[in-house]
């Protein structure tokens, strides 16, 4: 019997727009703009989903949850993350840990990070110590620096158990 560990990476970006709530890591953030998208547009969770799916060689978020499907219109990305866990388990994988970074100028999210980590850990049935969420700016450069959007990147490790 052996455990095999695999690493995946994910990246996502969404435009900031008025009249949408800003949801990051499953947490509603107090801000005047929100992210545009078919689901709740939680850029952080989308990057994590892609990292996990990539680690298990199970495609990507767009393959499993297409943006032209009404089933996923305005869906909570925490529900998508739970479905990603089910996909992984169906392929005999389990998440080991997640490390994710938000790239944005505003709003500041330090006060929300632990709640994001807790939400992600709960959805993936991990201890919160196995989930890292960080935020950084792009020093005023590019679309994130101009406050036009938010980007996120993530890496995840999964374990494949084969008796």
pLDDT of 2 over the 70 cut: no
Confidence of residue 63 (pLDDT cuts 50, 70, 90): very high
Predicted local distance difference test score (pLDDT) of residue 67? 83
Reported residue count of the chain is: 163
The mean pLDDT of the chain is 94
Q: Angle at Cα 32 formed by Cα 26 and Cα 38, nearest 5°?
A: 50
> Do residues 44 and 104 lie in contact, with contact meaning Cβ atoms separated by under 8 Å?
no
CATH number of 2-162: 3.30.1330.50
Residue ranges covered by each domain of the chain: 2-162
Q: What is the mean pLDDT of residues 130-158?
A: 97
Alpha helices in 56-160 (DSSP H): 61-64, 77-90, 113-124, 142-145
Secondary structure (DSSP) of 24-55 = ETTEEE--S-EE-SSS---HHHHHHHHHHHHH
Q: Model confidence over 92-123: pLDDT tens digits?
A: 999 999 999 999 999 999 999 999 999 999 99
Instruction: Tell me which residue has tokens 């495609």.
Output: 59
| CA–CA separation, 34 and 40 (whole Å) | 9
Alpha helices in 33-141 (DSSP H): 43-55, 61-64, 77-90, 113-124
The helix, strand and coil proportions of the chain, stated in percent and rounded to the nearest 5, come to: 35, 35, 30
Distance of CA 3 to the CA centre of its chain: 25
| CA–CA separation, 44 and 133 (whole Å) | 9
Predicted local distance difference test score (pLDDT) of residue 36? 95
Q: Model confidence over 25-47: pLDDT tens digits?
A: 999 999 999 999 999 999 999 99
Confidence of residue 68 (pLDDT cuts 50, 70, 90): confident
């Amino acid at each position: 019997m052996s455990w095999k560990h695999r690493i995946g990476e994910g990246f996502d970006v969404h435009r900031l727009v008025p009249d949408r709530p800003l949801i990051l890591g499953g947490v509603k953030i107090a801000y005047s703009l929100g992210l545009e998208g078919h689901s709740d547009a939680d850029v952080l969770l989308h990057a994590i989903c892609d990292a996990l799916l990539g680690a298990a060689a199970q495609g990507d978020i767009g393959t499993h949850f297409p943006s032209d499907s009404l089933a996923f219109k305005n869906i909570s990305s925490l529900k998508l993350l739970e479905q990603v866990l089910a996909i992984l388990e169906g392929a005999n994988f389990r998440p080991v840990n997640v490390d994710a970074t938000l790239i944005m100028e505003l709003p500041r999210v330090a006060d929300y990070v632990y709640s994001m980590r807790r939400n992600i850990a709960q959805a993936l049935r991990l201890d919160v110590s196995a989930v890292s969420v960080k935020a950084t700016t792009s020093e005023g450069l590019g679309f994130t620096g101009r406050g036009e959007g938010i980007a996120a990147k993530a890496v995840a490790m999964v374990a494949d158990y084969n008796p």
